[in-house]
Structure 1
Amino acid sequence: MNKINKDQIDPVVEPESEKIHRMSRAIISAVPVLGGPLLEGLNALIEPPMARRRTEWMTQVTEAINDLVESKGITIESLQENEKFFTVLVTASNIAIKNHLKEKLDALKNAVINSALPGAPDDVLQQIFLNLIDNCTTWHIAILKLYHGPVQWAQENGHIFPDWSMGGIPSVIESAYPELNGQREVYNIVWQELNRYGLINTDNIAITMTVSGMLSKRTTSIGDMFLEFISSPKVP
Structure 2
Amino acid sequence: MVQQVDLERMDPAAEPLEEKLHRVGRVAIGAIPVIGSLALETFNSIFEPPLSKRRTEVIRQIGEALNDLIEGGVVTEAGLQENEAFISTVAEVCNISLRNHQAEKLEALRNAAINSALPGCPSDDYRQIFLHFVDVCTVSHIRLLKFFENPKRWFVAHNRAEPYRAAVSLSQVIEHAMPDLTRNREILDTVWADLYQKGLVGIKQLEMVLSHESCFSKQTTSFGSKLIAFLSSPST
Aligning the two structures, in what range does the TM-score lie when normalised by the shorter sequence? 0.7 to 0.9
CA contact (8 A) 2:199 2:221 kept: yes
User: Which residue of 1 is the match for residue 8 of structure 2?
Assistant: 7
User: Which residue of 2 is the match for residue 134 of structure 1?
Assistant: 135
Mapped partners of 2:180, 2:159: distance in 1: 17
Structure 1 stretches of 5 or more lacking a match? none
Mapped partners of 1:206, 1:137: distance in 2: 22
CA contact (8 A) 2:182 2:188 kept: no
Q: 1:81-160 counterparts in 2 under 5 A? A: 81-160=82-161
Structure 2 stretches of 5 or more lacking a match? none
CA contact (8 A) 1:28 1:39 kept: no
User: Which residue of 1 is the match for residue 222 of structure 2?
Assistant: 221
User: Which residue of 2 is the match for residue 66 of structure 1?
Assistant: 67
User: Which residue of 2 is the match for residue 17 of structure 1?
Assistant: 22
Mapped partners of 1:19, 1:160: distance in 2: 54
State the 1:76 CA deviation: 0.9
After superposition, the C-alpha distances for 1:9-38 in whole angstroms (9 at most, x for unaligned) are 4677333135436765x4799559x96xx9
Residue identity opposite 1:105 in structure 2: L
Residue identity opposite 1:196 in structure 2: Q
CA contact (8 A) 2:74 2:118 kept: no
CA contact (8 A) 1:15 1:50 kept: no
Q: 1:121-200 counterparts in 2 under 5 A? A: 121-200=122-201
Mapped partners of 1:49, 1:21: distance in 2: 16
Mapped partners of 2:215, 2:23: distance in 1: 48
After superposition, the C-alpha distances for 1:116-138 in whole angstroms (9 at most, x for unaligned) are 11121112111111111112111
State the 1:209 CA deviation: 2.3
CA contact (8 A) 1:3 1:69 kept: yes
State the 1:105 CA deviation: 1.0
- The SS at the match of 1:88 is helix
Residue identity opposite 1:15 in structure 2: K
Mapped partners of 1:128, 1:40: distance in 2: 38
CA contact (8 A) 1:17 1:50 kept: no
CA contact (8 A) 2:58 2:94 kept: yes
Q: Does 1:233 align with 2:234?
A: yes
CA contact (8 A) 1:9 1:58 kept: yes
Q: CA RMSD in A?
A: 2.6
CA contact (8 A) 1:18 1:49 kept: no
1:66–1:196 CA distance, 2 compared to 1 (3 A): same
1:124–1:10 CA distance, 2 compared to 1 (3 A): closer
CA contact (8 A) 1:170 1:184 kept: no
State the 1:83 CA deviation: 1.0
- The SS at the match of 1:15 is helix
Mapped partners of 1:23, 1:63: distance in 2: 38
After superposition, the C-alpha distances for 1:130-173 in whole angstroms (9 at most, x for unaligned) are 11111211111100111112111111222223232322100111
State the 1:177 CA deviation: 0.9
State the 1:8 CA deviation: 2.4
CA contact (8 A) 2:115 2:121 kept: yes
Aligned length: 231
After superposition, the C-alpha distances for 1:180-229 in whole angstroms (9 at most, x for unaligned) are 23322211111111111111011111212222222121111111111111
